[in-house]
Amino acid sequence: MSLTLTKDAIKQRQKLNVQETDLRIRRQEGLTLGEKIEAYLEKKVKKNASSLITDSFYNTEIENGISFYVRRTNVMKEGALNKKE
């Protein structure tokens, strides 16, 4: 008795193995880095825009020999402060 596998059956089995491995890893480690970033940014979306503006700062940029100011904000600031404490 021989067992023959088609390319489609092999691909489906490989896909199933990858999904099972991902689930097993997620149970052990929790969220992936991408999922953590998305969750953090979702929290920031809910934050008032005025508080984001007050947290912003100006940074000098030079492009093609022309100096100009760019307004930036550090959305990861709160997380960085919490790790230091």
Asked whether residue 15 carries a pLDDT value surpassing 50, the answer given is yes
* Residue 52 shares a structural domain with residue 27: no
- Pair (64, 79) in one structural domain: yes
For residues 41 and 56, the model is more confident at 41
pLDDT in tens, 43-65: 877 766 655 566 677 778 888 88
Give the pLDDT of residue 57: 72
pLDDT of residue 85: 43
Which range of residues forms the domain containing residue 39? 7-46
**Which whole number is the average pLDDT over 6-25?**
89
Same domain, 13 and 41: yes
Alpha carbons within 13 angstroms on the beta-carbon side of residue 6 total 3
Residue with structure tokens 């005025």? 50
Of 7 and 46, more confident? 7
- Check if the beta carbon of residue 76 is closer than 8 Å to that of residue 67: no
Structure tokens at 42: 């979702």
CB atoms within 10 A of CB 5: 9
Residues 41 and 74 reside in one and the same domain: no
* Neighbouring-strand partners of residue 56: 73
